[in-house]
Homo-oligomer: A and B are copies of this chain.
């Protein structure tokens, strides 16, 4: 079994309205030393039995399905 952990986040410079909202909420809650909040997706893929997944496959999956290439970047680890 392989476990793939993928992080999809906005590219630097792309506005993250959800992150801004959370940052504003934290400020209101009294956490005054928060500079910025960025929110992304975290995806865990498990493969069947002895099934493996290579870097090329994960790149394909991210490019075609999980990340928007215009606004998002991704990184992953395979275990």
Could you list which residues of chain A lie within 8 angstroms of chain B, going by C-beta atoms?
1, 7-9, 19, 22, 25-26, 29, 31, 33-49, 51-53, 57, 61, 64-66
Contacts and interface: CB of A to CB of B under 8 A. Distances in A.
Given A29-B61, A31-B61, A34-B51, 18 more contacts: A8-B42, A9-B44, A19-B43, A26-B65, A31-B53, A31-B57, A33-B47, A33-B51, A34-B48, A35-B46, A35-B48, A36-B46, A38-B44, A39-B42, A39-B43, A40-B43, A40-B44, A41-B41
Contacts of A31: 53, 57, 61
A24 to B, nearest CB: 11
B53 A33 contact: yes
B65 A7 contact: no
